[in-house]
Structure 1
Amino acid sequence: MDFDLNDDQREFRALLREFVDKEIVPVARDWEHSGRYPSEIVAGFRSLGLFGLTVPEEYGGLDLDPVSFALVFEEISRGWMGVAGILGSHSLACRMIATHGTEDQKRRYLPGLATGERRTGIGLTEPDAGTDLQGIRTVARRDGDHYVVTGTKTWITNARHADPLPVLVKTDKDARPAHRGMSVLLVDADTPGFTVTKDIPKLGYKGTESCEVVLDGARVPAANLLGGVEGRGMQQALSALEWGRVNIAARSVGIAQRAYDEALAYAKQRKAFGRAIADFQAVQLQLASLATTLQAARLMAYWAADRVRQGRADAQTGMAKIFCSEVALQAAIDALKVHGGYGYSTEYEVERLYRDAVLMSIGEGTNDVLRTVVAKSLTRGDAKVGWGG
Structure 2
Amino acid sequence: MPDTGMDQDVFEAFIDQLKRYVRERLIPAEKQVIETDCIPDDILAEMREMGLFGITMPVEYGGSGMNVSQYVETIRQLSYAMPCYRSITSINIGMTCSAIVKSGTAEQKAHWLPRLAAGEIASFGLTEPGSGSDSAAMATTAVRSGNGYVLNGTKRYITNAPFAKVALIMARTSKEALPKNAHVSAFLVPMDSPGVSVGKSDKKMGQAGSHIADIVMEDVHVSGDALLGGEEGKGFLIAMQSLNNGRLSVAAASVGYARRILDSATRYATERKAFGEPIANFQLIQAMLADSQAEIYAAECMIADATRRADAGEAVLVQAASAKMFASEMCGRVADRCVQIYGGAGYLAEYEAERFFRDARIYRIYEGTTQILQLVIAKNMLREFASAA
TM norm. shorter chain > 0.5: yes
Matches within 5 A, 1:148-227: 148-177=150-179, 179-227=181-229
Unpaired runs of 5+ residues, structure 2, are: 1-7
Q: Confirm or deny that 1:372 pairs with 2:375.
A: yes
Alignment partner of 2:380: what SS?
A: helix
CA shift, 1:97, in A, is 0.8
Q: Confirm or deny that 1:338 pairs with 2:341.
A: yes
What is the aligned counterpart of 1:120 among 119, 122, 126? 122
Partner of 2:249: 247
**How far apart in 2 are the matches of 1:80 and 1:187?**
30
**How far apart in 2 are the matches of 1:331 and 1:52?**
31
**How far apart in 1 are the matches of 2:137 and 2:267?**
47
Partner of 1:101: 104
**How far apart in 1 are the matches of 2:242 and 2:31?**
31
**How far apart in 1 are the matches of 2:275 and 2:30?**
33
Q: Compared with structure 1, are the counterparts of its residues 29 and 355 closer, same or farther at alpha carbon in structure 2 (3 Å cutoff)?
A: farther
Is the contact made by 1:29 and 1:349 (CA closer than 8 Å) also made in structure 2?
A: no
TM-score (norm 2): 0.93
Alignment partner of 1:354: what SS?
A: helix
Alignment partner of 2:128: what SS?
A: coil
Partner of 1:305: 307
**How far apart in 2 are the matches of 1:53 and 1:197?**
30
CA shift, 1:36, in A, is 3.2
Is the contact made by 1:252 and 1:324 (CA closer than 8 Å) also made in structure 2?
A: yes
Partner of 1:261: 263
**How far apart in 2 are the matches of 1:13 and 1:342?**
34
Is the contact made by 1:127 and 1:154 (CA closer than 8 Å) also made in structure 2?
A: yes
Amino acid at match of 1:126: E
Is the contact made by 1:138 and 1:152 (CA closer than 8 Å) also made in structure 2?
A: yes
Indicate the RMSD between aligned Cα atoms, in angstroms: 1.7
Is the contact made by 2:195 and 2:218 (CA closer than 8 Å) also made in structure 1?
A: yes
Is the contact made by 1:100 and 1:227 (CA closer than 8 Å) also made in structure 2?
A: yes
CA shift, 1:40, in A, is 2.8
Is the contact made by 2:188 and 2:227 (CA closer than 8 Å) also made in structure 1?
A: yes
Is the contact made by 1:85 and 1:208 (CA closer than 8 Å) also made in structure 2?
A: yes
TM-score (norm 1): 0.93
CA shift, 1:8, in A, is 4.8
CA-to-aligned-CA distance 1:272-317 (integer Å, 9 cap, x gap)? 1211111111211111111111111111122212222122100111
Is the contact made by 2:33 and 2:208 (CA closer than 8 Å) also made in structure 1?
A: no
Is the contact made by 2:38 and 2:208 (CA closer than 8 Å) also made in structure 1?
A: no
**How far apart in 2 are the matches of 1:363 and 1:77?**
16
Partner of 1:3: none
Q: Compared with structure 1, are the counterparts of its residues 377 and 8 closer, same or farther at alpha carbon in structure 2 (3 Å cutoff)?
A: farther
Alignment partner of 2:222: what SS?
A: strand
Segment of structure 1 superposing worse, 234-243 or 305-314: 305-314
Alignment partner of 2:77: what SS?
A: helix
CA shift, 1:7, in A, is 4.8
CA shift, 1:378, in A, is 2.1
CA shift, 1:9, in A, is 4.5
Count of residue pairs brought into register by the alignment: 377
Partner of 1:318: 321
Alignment partner of 1:207: what SS?
A: coil
Unpaired runs of 5+ residues, structure 1, are: 1-5, 383-389
Alignment partner of 1:168: what SS?
A: strand
